[in-house]
Structure 1
């Protein structure tokens, strides 16, 4: 398994969410997610991260506030022998700074 982490650009995240070709997993804590998150993302806090809860198929991209915790989630996946190695390095901060729509609440 490759040690590379692939950065996914904002436009690729937008297209993947629109087309339904990615599952964007937000690993920030529940209070952060509830305060604002990328529409269509799913919450899976790093503090309670369970690789068994990840989709078994498709493309998974991790996101957090700014790229640190999403890399840690990839490390957990690798330790479990899972192939996921993509993250949105700018995370929610870049999403919001780009003027993209923001969802609030815990769903």
Structure 2
């Protein structure tokens, strides 16, 4: 399994320049309570690889997964790779790191 950890600064740059599609795999209630601006919700509990691949293909940006602290996003990457989908990147610190640094949330 291949996992590429992104840090907050790299994520901020990718979001600012529009090259990153941030995919939040937390549950809907977590996402609704606050999320990183620009993130799209795709909960791990209902992880649909076909829908995810369609989203990524339609969007065209580099997909980076995120969750609360990097655990669920790593699980999602593991699952995707086990199914032959070449997703490798996630925000290792997750939403907790983002909020802890005082970054803006939506």
**Is the 1:24–1:62 Cα contact (8 Å) retained in structure 2?**
yes
TM-score by length of 1: 0.90
TM-score by length of 2: 0.90
- The answer as to 2:88 corresponding to 1:80 is no
Matched residues, number: 101
> What SS does the corresponding residue of 1:87 show, helix, strand or coil?
strand
Instruction: Report the equivalent of 2:15.
Output: 17
CA RMSD of aligned residues (A): 1.0
Q: Which ranges in structure 1 are unaligned for 5 or more consecutive residues?
A: none
Runs of 4+ in 1 over 3 A off after TM superposition: none
Q: Which ranges in structure 2 are unaligned for 5 or more consecutive residues?
A: none
Task: Please state which structure has a larger fraction of its residues in helix.
Answer: 2
